[in-house]
Amino acid sequence: MALRVPKNTLPQLFKDGYKFQQGIEEAVLRNIDATHELSEVVRTSMGPNGRNKMIINHLEKLFVTNDAATIIRELDVVHPAAKLMVMASQQQESEMGDNTNLVIVFAGELLQKAADLLKLGLHPSEIIQGYEMARDRALSILEELSVGKVESLTDKEELTKIIKATISSKQYGYEEFLGDLVCEAALNIMPKNPKDFNVDNVRVVKVMGSSIHESQVVRGMVFGREPDGMIQNATKAKVAVFTCPLDISQTETKGTVLIHNAQEMLNFSKDEEKQVEKIFQDLADAGVKVVVTGNGIGELALHYLNRFNIMAVKVLSKFDLRRLCRVIGATALARLGTPMAEEMGYCDIVETVEIGSDRVTVFRQEEAEKSRTTTIVIRGATQNHMDDIERAVDDGINMIKAATRNPLLLPGAGAVEMELNKRLQAVAAKTPGLNQHAIKKFAEALEVVPRTLCENAGMNSTAVLSCLYAVHYQEGDAGLSVGVDVENEGDGTLDATTQGIYDSFVAKYSAIKLAADAAITVLRVDQIIMSKPAGGPKPLKKEGHWDNDD
């Protein structure tokens, strides 16, 4: 074989500083190496025994988590091919809310298998063609593998089926307890037509202290601070919501007031007080018992609020303010003044409750039809731990949303991947031409899921996989729902259906589709042309404060 002499490509076409890579070795295999590195980062976080990653982002904030979506979001990936996989996993996160890890791990494995075929001499377009056939066939087979469905979205037992595996992959050991909380919260807000289920109606509030077992579900909205004034409770209250500060409005232009004597001085401040008093007098006359503001409350305003027995609550998050408006049926006003009848909200109970050593404010509607918001109050020893529990809860809620779209259930614990592997191997055996090699590799790539579950649990993956192959390759569907057993000592296999380990059909369908699409997109690339980064030299990061001279 002749020695390949690299030639200086495109000498006069681009400015200096352009990087140009082309061909199988330079572009395709390099891309595959980069994507493999990324998939190896998150692969160890997969499943109930997934390891945590400690990530410090560019703002020096610390994250300790095994949630792939968070890991990917906080890692600043710059390689263009790896970015394609990041985008695919972010799409999965925004659409389904779970199985983001599967997208990256499976796409990385598909590309690794494609690299073997490239080294054997296959052309990328032949691999792409085979992968596309395998993807379409896998997605059509997937529906045949369902082992049941969520019969009723208003039954706690049925909902637990779909969220158990999701929560145990994030918070292994707490899946029963957190599953009950998520089911209770979901049932509180489940509309008559389950298809209208809104994930945004379940809020999470984190209160530091105690343990995870003290977490609870509260009907209505909970804000992690107490009211500002002396009034702590209100019942059957009209509520006015403002986005502006409750204070004397400052004029846009600076004015000068000439005061000649003490009397004028007193009159000046009296007029100001009268003006503020009139605003709150009007509010009290309109029957307003609770005022919510998204900004500060001035001292004078607080004095009059207390005087007229109006409860004052500060909500600094504009998203929470928007949600509150939806719960109580109010309109947020940008000016200070008496709201009209239709702009006011109504709430049955506004009270201050003590959770641990913290006092929180609860807005609660007594009628179930009215209050379509519920809050899960999470307790925990550290902020990082509570953040991780919140992610597990979010994933659980998203799985219930997925069940409203399609209630089919697949066997979990890597069983469905092994069965797909078996069926695709049979398809490959009947496919003529070079496509059969790519379909076979697609099938082999699916075994990355059970293998990873074994490796993360410290089991002998080779022995367990051979047991799984033996069971799945029986005649008929006898081994359809046999997956990896990460708990008990034995041959490492279990029947996922009898153990109640299920995966959502829509989430798995979406993950396999996105992973295959991302892998095919990376394989289609044969040249990488990178221009010189814009901008001058980066400023030196100086230790200490910049005002202090050396």
What pLDDT is stored for residue 275 in this prediction?
76
Element housing 392 (H / E): helix 383-405
State the Cα angle at 210 between 206 and 212, rounded to 5°: 65
Per-residue pLDDT tens for 496-513? Answer: 778 878 888 888 888 888
Per-residue pLDDT at 178: 84
Q: Identify the weakest region by mean pLDDT among 300-314, 387-401, 461-475, 533-547.
A: 533-547
User: Sorting pLDDT into bands at 50, 70 and 90, what band is 151?
Assistant: confident
CB under 8 Å to 172, separation ≥6 — which residues? Answer: 48, 49
pTM: 0.80
Query: DSSP E strands: which ranges in 420-539?
Result: 482-484, 493-495, 502-504, 527-530
Q: Alpha helix locations (H) across 473-502?
A: none
Torsion of CA 216, 220, 222, 226, to 10 degrees: -120
Structure-token match 């997109």, residue found: 521
C-alpha torsion sign, points 110, 115, 118, 119: negative
Give the amino acid at 65.
T
Task: Determine the length of the chain.
Answer: 550
Q: At 11, is the pLDDT very low, low, confident or very high (cuts 50, 70, 90)? A: low
Rounded CA-CA distance 344/330 in Å is: 5
**φ, ψ for residue 463 (rounded to 5)?**
-65, -45
Indicate whether 549 pLDDT > 60.
Answer: no
Q: Please tell me the predicted confidence (pLDDT) of residue 1.
A: 46
Element (H, E) at 261: none
Pinpoint the alpha helices (H) of 194-298: 262-285
Name the H helices within 286-382.
299-307, 318-328
Q: Is residue 32's pLDDT more than 70?
A: yes
- Mean pLDDT value across residues 9-30: 69
**DSSP annotation of 374:** E
DSSP state of 18: -
CA 216 to chain centre: 21
pLDDT in the model for residue 261? 79
pLDDT score recorded for residue 45: 86
The confidence band for 307, taking pLDDT boundaries of 50, 70 and 90, is confident
* CA distances for 366 relative to 311, 346, 347, angstroms: 19, 11, 9
As a whole number, mean pLDDT of residues 110-120 equals 86
Q: Residue 550 above 50 pLDDT? A: no
**3-state secondary structure (DSSP) of residue 88:** helix
Between CA 163 and CA 183 the distance in angstroms is 9
Average pLDDT over residues 334-356: 78
Closest CA to 197 of 46, 427, 374, 331: 374
Measured CA to CA, the distance from residue 310 to residue 194 in angstroms comes to 38
CA distances from 45 to 42, 110, 169, 396, 459 (A): 5, 19, 9, 18, 15
Give the pLDDT mean for 139-158. Answer: 80
Would you give the distance in Å from CA 133 to the centre of its chain?
Answer: 31
The string of pLDDT tens digits covering residues 66-88 is: 888 888 888 888 888 888 888 88
Q: Average pLDDT, whole number, for the chain?
A: 79
Q: What mean pLDDT do residues 160-183 have? A: 82
Q: Is 548 helix (H, G, I), strand (E, B) or coil?
A: coil
Q: What is the mean pLDDT of residues 171-197?
A: 81
Question: Which of 245-254, 279-288, 456-465, 484-493 has the weakest average pLDDT?
Answer: 245-254
Residue 543 pLDDT > 60: no
∠ CA 380-384-390 to the nearest 5 degrees?
70
Stretch (H or E) spanning 409: strand 408-411
Average pLDDT over residues 132-160: 81
Q: What is the mean pLDDT of residues 412-438?
A: 84
pLDDT score of 259 = 78
With a pLDDT cut of 70, the percent of the chain lying above it is: 89
Which uninterrupted H or E stretch holds 487?
none
| Nearest 10 degrees: Cα torsion 466, 467, 470, 473 | -90
Give me the DSSP letters along 118-180.
HHHT--HHHHHHHHHHHHHHHHHHHGGG--EE---TT-HHHHHHHHHHHHHHHSTT-HHHHHH
Radius of gyration for the alpha carbons in the chain, expressed in angstroms and rounded: 30
Q: How high is the pLDDT of residue 305?
A: 80
Q: What is the pLDDT of residues 353-369, one digit of tens each?
A: 777 777 888 887 776 55
d(CA 122, CA 10): 27
pLDDT exceeds 60 at position 542: no
Give first-to-last CA distance, the chain, whole Å.
62
